[in-house]
Structure 1
């Protein structure tokens, strides 16, 4: 929704500069409202009724044995975040410099449309298709789209790539990964989920910092490599899925 919100809130100052002040004020108010709600409303009953003292993340890490599969899931948090963040921040520069597209801002609209549509359609698909299949299928779609964009270098491919990566990269893949973690690692689901999100946050900083020092075509290649790693990780988790489900059922 952000591109549409920007269209409504962004203003031009007397000096001709673009001002985002209204958006920041609105976000600040929203955070204050959330703070009040968090302070007022009780924690979920499952947390209130939990017996015993809960371990913090650091203590949990000290006592947790991580399997190869759990490490793969944590790394997927890194790779899937890199896929859509690199595209979101760098694809328009690629379109300008490598495709010769003077104003590729329309790509953002297609990206957002893909993301919003995916949130609905993916939710429906997960009723019939196991969540873990998306961890492989969606990165494959992103990988094919980026290779086509890099090789084809046309406006049509850029628009299609924006829609597909909005759909398969940003349309809930990270949330699906955390959902799979909760199911496959019931004994350490809190710890693994936290680490998946930490890996995602770490990716936001490291990958975008690296991208800021590269040419747009180099960023696209880096994104392809990163997404290919995500495909391999997703394939590994899918191949081990049956055994992991059996282990999770035994743990429960």
Structure 2
């Protein structure tokens, strides 16, 4: 039987295609923004850091409110605030104003997450892992498409702002469509989940597997964030790749992420529990980063870009969130807020930390990523052990 919420889900996925472009659009247009804002790379980096800060400010509160007020208002609020960002950046005369609009973009991301992730779990209660990991596919598709769009604009000497206007137009049209679509009755689902909590939730331990999953929100985000930002620099300065080739590494990274999403969603749906990937992928990321650190060649950089995209950016964060929702079945909005608050902290502090390290050694950034991935493996090992215990007792 066809799921009546499929149009709603597709509309929400389109938002994340735009979000994928929005997450990198400032970095991709750094040269143009330096001219518009009358600043340097450090100034644009400062603006980019506002994305993580804005996300962090409202995420937990919006997650809790999503459980009380519903999913649809927060999805629409996220779309509206994202429209403000795309339009506002183009009108920003300086770094301060641009920082404010980037802060709004971070908030928009939080609003979308708070409404979309719980809504998708409620749209597809029998395939929550696959439903959530598809978000990453649409994000990666957006990140894959934007560099090509910008290349077309640059090669034809067109206004760089058309990429922002395109995102704004997609959101505006999609918002008009989504406004008329139906969302699942979240309150009725929560009543059913309350009964599940009595059976399962008291056996799960927030101070053990709960804390570990929250911290995985940090390690998973930090692992792929560092690569997505610094791998082109590493390829150029350490592996001696030409600049154009080093920039193409992000395309390989995005391709790996897209491939992972589809393969993982199939495996999660039919054969392997999502919690297993929470440890498998960070372990492969750690191995890949280790090889990259000790063998910085152009070919290794290309392979590493794809593999890190596959294992780190392919949905570990989404699978950790789904695992936490399974262990702690009630208040999906709050759970989303907690895990993504941890993720937001990573996206806010990593630019500062890696920026300092880059002044002395770009290789040191990869070494830092190795350490973060190793911590993620240990955390995931604890989660898997506890998952086995909890689910055995619940059976």
Give the TM-score of the pair, scaled to structure 2.
0.55
* Contact preservation (8 Å) 2:255, 2:309: yes
* Contact preservation (8 Å) 2:226, 2:369: yes
1:33-112 correspondence runs (5 A): 33-47=173-187, 66-103=206-243, 104-112=246-254
Residue 106 to residue 6, structure 1, CA distance change in 2 (3 Å): closer
Per-residue Cα deviation, 1:95-146 (whole angstroms, up to 9, x for no partner): 1111111221231221121111111111111121111110000000100001
- Pair 1:235-2:384 in alignment: no
* Contact preservation (8 Å) 2:144, 2:251: yes
Once residues 347 and 173 of structure 2 are traced to their aligned partners in structure 1, the CA distance between those partners, rounded to angstroms, is 26
Task: Give the drift of 1:28.
Answer: 1.3
Q: 1:99 aligns to what SS in structure 2?
A: coil
Q: Higher mean Cα deviation, 66-75 or 101-110?
A: 101-110
* Contact preservation (8 Å) 1:13, 1:19: no
Once residues 212 and 254 of structure 2 are traced to their aligned partners in structure 1, the CA distance between those partners, rounded to angstroms, is 28
Once residues 174 and 227 of structure 1 are traced to their aligned partners in structure 2, the CA distance between those partners, rounded to angstroms, is 13
Residue 47 to residue 30, structure 1, CA distance change in 2 (3 Å): farther
Per-residue Cα deviation, 1:168-202 (whole angstroms, up to 9, x for no partner): 11111111111111111113543222211111122
Once residues 188 and 267 of structure 2 are traced to their aligned partners in structure 1, the CA distance between those partners, rounded to angstroms, is 33
Once residues 19 and 157 of structure 1 are traced to their aligned partners in structure 2, the CA distance between those partners, rounded to angstroms, is 36
Once residues 150 and 50 of structure 1 are traced to their aligned partners in structure 2, the CA distance between those partners, rounded to angstroms, is 47
Counterpart of 1:180 (choices 311, 323, 336) is 323
Once residues 363 and 190 of structure 2 are traced to their aligned partners in structure 1, the CA distance between those partners, rounded to angstroms, is 51
Give the TM-score of the pair, scaled to structure 1.
0.84
Aligned to 1:4: 145
Once residues 34 and 77 of structure 1 are traced to their aligned partners in structure 2, the CA distance between those partners, rounded to angstroms, is 29
Count of residues in Structure 1 that have an aligned counterpart in Structure 2:
236
Once residues 173 and 391 of structure 2 are traced to their aligned partners in structure 1, the CA distance between those partners, rounded to angstroms, is 40
Once residues 391 and 252 of structure 2 are traced to their aligned partners in structure 1, the CA distance between those partners, rounded to angstroms, is 37
- Where relative contact order (Cα < 8 A, 6+ residues apart) is larger, the structure is 1
* Contact preservation (8 Å) 2:190, 2:331: no
Runs of 4 or more above 6 Å deviation: none
* Contact preservation (8 Å) 2:278, 2:380: yes
Alpha-carbon RMSD across the aligned residues, in angstroms, is 2.5
Once residues 299 and 184 of structure 2 are traced to their aligned partners in structure 1, the CA distance between those partners, rounded to angstroms, is 48
Residue 189 to residue 170, structure 1, CA distance change in 2 (3 Å): same
- Pair 1:193-2:336 in alignment: yes
Counterpart of 2:353 (choices 186, 210, 213) is 210
Once residues 50 and 108 of structure 1 are traced to their aligned partners in structure 2, the CA distance between those partners, rounded to angstroms, is 40
Once residues 240 and 111 of structure 1 are traced to their aligned partners in structure 2, the CA distance between those partners, rounded to angstroms, is 32
Per-residue Cα deviation, 1:57-111 (whole angstroms, up to 9, x for no partner): xxxxxxxx83321011011011001111100000111111111112212312211
